[in-house]
Amino acid sequence: MGNMQLVPDRLLQGDTIGIVAPASPFDRKEFDRGVAVLKAMGFRIIVPDDIYIKKGYLAGPDIHRANLINTFFADRKIKAIICARGGFGSMRVLSLLDFESIKKNPKIFIGFSDISAILSVLYTKCGFVVFHGPMVTSLGDASKKTREALLAAVSSDAMLAIRPKTGITIRHGMASGPIAGGSLTTLCHLVGTPFGPMFKGHILFLEDKGEACYRIDRMLTHMKLAGCFDGLAGLVIGSFKDCGSVSEIIGIVDNLFKEDNIPVLAGFEVGHGKSNITIPIGLNATLDTDTQLLSFHKSATSNQQKVRRSEGQKIRRLED
């Protein structure tokens, strides 16, 4: 699983991004602000007419939400897919995704929070790199750092390196492996399903929002007892917003991983905090607690667009 690491095509100026809503309905004003940010970055945006459907706490029926994803993966004109928002309901579409078709059309897929379920499954079932990053409704008032990190991940050849502003080393050491992870609550709920996460050999990052400390303890314990952390290479702790004090969270993690001889580093601005740095899931990285750095071994996208660009120039020349 970790070795395939198929990286999707890099986004170029003028490329088309499709927006999907696999989870909850969203605020229209926030959505429009986020769309404006993506357009200002130089991308064309496709918003499906029926993306605004609501069904209780879901953005429409399960099959409708799954079909938007299936359709956009199959559409060659669309070079990247970004989710409108998280919330609830991503798990309900997993069994409706057309993995055979998706596998044939790897492309950039971006989301976080409840969308962690889809990120995890696209990586495990299809073997390509996906992006844990801001969504449309959070982009409108996202920090400059958040926007720049997203652009760097999906449209540059930079080898990303992330150093937390205030890193806290819980366990010293250094480890390498592909990155996996996302919302603790969402990943915990995948345990025991056909889409259950296994992180052997991986550097795992976790974040969450609005969960009491005893619940975080219970979820981590559940995953530990289920064997999810067997053979883990390293652990990265992102933001745990409104989840109790940082020291409490660190205490829980410290306690649960005390027998594991793996590097554990907290303080990353990943998740529901003020900044949400984009993390490519499935990409090999090295975690070093001495330098407090998570550094990726190659860029998160591939440069096949050079071919696209030159083909475009050929076509233009012929038209001239």
Given a contact cutoff of 8 angstroms between Cβ atoms, the answer to whether 15 and 75 are in contact is no
pLDDT for 168 equals: 97
Please confirm, yes or no, whether 207 is among the known catalytic residues.
yes
111, 186 contact by CB (below 8 A)? no
Which residue among the candidates 90, 113, 155, 299 is catalytic per the annotation?
113
Q: How confident is the model at residue 198 (pLDDT cuts 50, 70, 90)?
A: confident
Whether 30 and 84 have beta carbons less than 8 Å apart is answered as no
Q: Is 211 a catalytic residue?
A: no
Beta strand 203-209 with 174-183 is parallel
Quote helix, strand, coil % in the chain, to nearest 5: 35, 25, 40
pTM over 0.85: yes
| Cα 69 from Cα 30, distance rounded (Å) | 21
Task: Indicate which residue of 90, 189, 272, 299 is catalytic.
Answer: 272
CB 68 within 8 A of CB 164: no
The answer to whether 272 is a known catalytic residue is: yes
Q: What is the pLDDT of residue 307?
A: 53
Average pLDDT of span 51-79: 97
In this prediction, residue 5 has a pLDDT band, given cuts at 50, 70 and 90, of: confident
Please spell the DSSP secondary structure of 300-320, one letter per residue. Answer: SSB-THHHHHHHHHHHHHHH-
Predicted local confidence at residue 21, as pLDDT: 98
Contact residues for 153 (Cβ-Cβ < 8 A; gap 6+): 131, 133, 160, 278, 279, 280, 300, 301
Say if residue 54's pLDDT is above 60. yes
Listed by start position, the domains of the chain span 16-158, 162-296
pLDDT band at residue 170, thresholds of 50, 70 and 90?
very high
Residue pLDDT, tens place only, 226-277:
999 999 999 999 999 999 999 999 999 999 999 999 999 999 999 999 999 9
Above 70 in pLDDT, residue 45?
yes
Is pLDDT of 312 > 70?
Answer: no
Name the average pLDDT for the chain: 93
Is a pLDDT exceeding 50 seen at residue 314?
no
Using a 10 angstrom Cβ sphere, with 0-12 exposed, 13-18 middle and 19 or more buried, the burial of residue 245 is exposed
User: What is the share, in percent, of the chain residues with pLDDT greater than 70?
Assistant: 93
Task: Quickly list DSSP for 211-233.
Answer: --HHHHHHHHHHHHHTTTTTT--
Question: pLDDT tens across 108-126, in order?
Answer: 999 999 999 999 999 999 9
pLDDT at 29: 97
Going by C-alpha positions, the residue among 144, 128, 278, 118 that lies closest to residue 205 is: 278
Q: What is the pLDDT of residues 275-302, one digit of tens each?
A: 999 999 999 999 999 999 999 999 999 9
Fold of 162-296: Glucose Oxidase; domain 1 (3.50.30)
Which superfamily is assigned to 16-158 in CATH? Murein tetrapeptidase LD-carboxypeptidase, N-terminal domain (3.40.50.10740)
Given the residues 138, 155, 189, 207, the one annotated as active site: 207
3-class secondary structure, 269: coil
